[in-house]
Amino acid sequence: MRNFVLVKQDEHLHAMLKKIGKRLEELRREAGYTSHETFAYDFDFSRMHYWQAEKGKVNLTIKSLLRILKAHNLTFEEFVASLKKTEK
Protein backbone atom coordinates (compact mmCIF):
# COMPACT_ATOMS: atom_id res chain seq x y z
CA MET A 1 0.00 0.00 0.00
CA ARG A 2 2.84 2.40 0.86
CA ASN A 3 4.39 2.00 -2.60
CA PHE A 4 1.02 2.75 -4.21
CA VAL A 5 0.76 6.01 -2.25
CA LEU A 6 4.31 7.01 -3.25
CA VAL A 7 3.59 6.26 -6.91
CA LYS A 8 0.41 8.38 -6.77
CA GLN A 9 2.35 11.22 -5.14
CA ASP A 10 5.02 11.00 -7.85
CA GLU A 11 2.35 11.04 -10.55
CA HIS A 12 0.73 14.10 -8.99
CA LEU A 13 4.09 15.90 -8.70
CA HIS A 14 4.92 15.07 -12.32
CA ALA A 15 1.53 16.35 -13.48
CA MET A 16 1.95 19.60 -11.54
CA LEU A 17 5.45 20.17 -12.93
CA LYS A 18 4.09 19.65 -16.46
CA LYS A 19 1.26 22.10 -15.78
CA ILE A 20 3.66 24.72 -14.41
CA GLY A 21 5.95 24.22 -17.39
CA LYS A 22 3.11 24.56 -19.87
CA ARG A 23 2.04 27.83 -18.23
CA LEU A 24 5.62 29.14 -18.32
CA GLU A 25 5.77 28.34 -22.03
CA GLU A 26 2.45 30.15 -22.59
CA LEU A 27 3.74 33.21 -20.73
CA ARG A 28 6.93 33.21 -22.79
CA ARG A 29 4.99 33.02 -26.04
CA GLU A 30 2.58 35.74 -24.87
CA ALA A 31 5.63 37.91 -24.26
CA GLY A 32 6.57 37.47 -27.93
CA TYR A 33 9.36 34.91 -27.52
CA THR A 34 9.10 32.01 -29.94
CA SER A 35 12.29 30.44 -28.60
CA HIS A 36 13.01 29.36 -25.04
CA GLU A 37 16.69 30.00 -25.77
CA THR A 38 16.18 33.67 -26.60
CA PHE A 39 14.03 34.20 -23.52
CA ALA A 40 16.57 32.45 -21.29
CA TYR A 41 19.42 34.45 -22.80
CA ASP A 42 17.61 37.79 -22.45
CA PHE A 43 16.86 37.17 -18.76
CA ASP A 44 20.14 35.45 -17.86
CA PHE A 45 18.75 31.97 -17.21
CA SER A 46 20.50 28.75 -18.08
CA ARG A 47 18.96 27.75 -21.41
CA MET A 48 18.94 24.05 -20.48
CA HIS A 49 17.43 24.64 -17.05
CA TYR A 50 14.75 26.91 -18.49
CA TRP A 51 13.90 24.37 -21.21
CA GLN A 52 13.64 21.65 -18.56
CA ALA A 53 11.33 23.88 -16.51
CA GLU A 54 9.02 24.42 -19.49
CA LYS A 55 8.94 20.70 -20.16
CA GLY A 56 8.24 19.82 -16.53
CA LYS A 57 11.47 17.85 -16.32
CA VAL A 58 13.02 19.68 -13.39
CA ASN A 59 11.81 20.33 -9.87
CA LEU A 60 12.01 24.13 -9.80
CA THR A 61 13.07 25.80 -6.62
CA ILE A 62 10.90 28.65 -5.40
CA LYS A 63 13.85 30.96 -6.04
CA SER A 64 14.09 29.88 -9.69
CA LEU A 65 10.35 30.17 -10.20
CA LEU A 66 10.29 33.64 -8.64
CA ARG A 67 13.11 34.78 -10.95
CA ILE A 68 11.16 33.56 -13.97
CA LEU A 69 7.97 35.21 -12.74
CA LYS A 70 9.85 38.48 -12.19
CA ALA A 71 10.83 38.41 -15.88
CA HIS A 72 7.11 38.23 -16.66
CA ASN A 73 6.21 40.93 -14.10
CA LEU A 74 4.02 38.44 -12.25
CA THR A 75 3.71 37.76 -8.57
CA PHE A 76 3.65 34.24 -7.24
CA GLU A 77 -0.01 34.72 -6.31
CA GLU A 78 -0.91 35.86 -9.84
CA PHE A 79 0.89 32.85 -11.29
CA VAL A 80 -0.90 30.39 -9.01
CA ALA A 81 -4.23 32.04 -9.87
CA SER A 82 -3.44 31.66 -13.57
CA LEU A 83 -2.77 27.95 -13.00
CA LYS A 84 -6.16 27.57 -11.37
CA LYS A 85 -7.84 29.25 -14.34
CA THR A 86 -6.34 26.68 -16.71
CA GLU A 87 -7.91 23.87 -14.62
CA LYS A 88 -11.42 24.90 -15.66
Long-range contacts of 74-80 (CB under 8 A, 24+ apart): 74/27, 79/23
Q: Are 57 and 48 in contact (CB under 8 A)?
A: no
3 state SS for 36-51: HHHHHHHCCCCHHHHH
Average pLDDT over residues 68-74: 97
**CATH numeric code, 2-87:** 1.10.260.40
User: Which pLDDT tens digit goes with each residue over 5-21?
Assistant: 555 678 888 999 999 99
pTM for this model (two decimals): 0.85
- CA dist 8 and 71 (Å) reads 33
pLDDT tens string 15-42: 999 999 999 999 999 999 999 999 999 9
Would you list the domain boundaries of the chain? 2-87
| C-alpha span between 39 and 53 (Å, rounded) | 13
C-beta neighbour count of 57 within 10 angstroms: 14
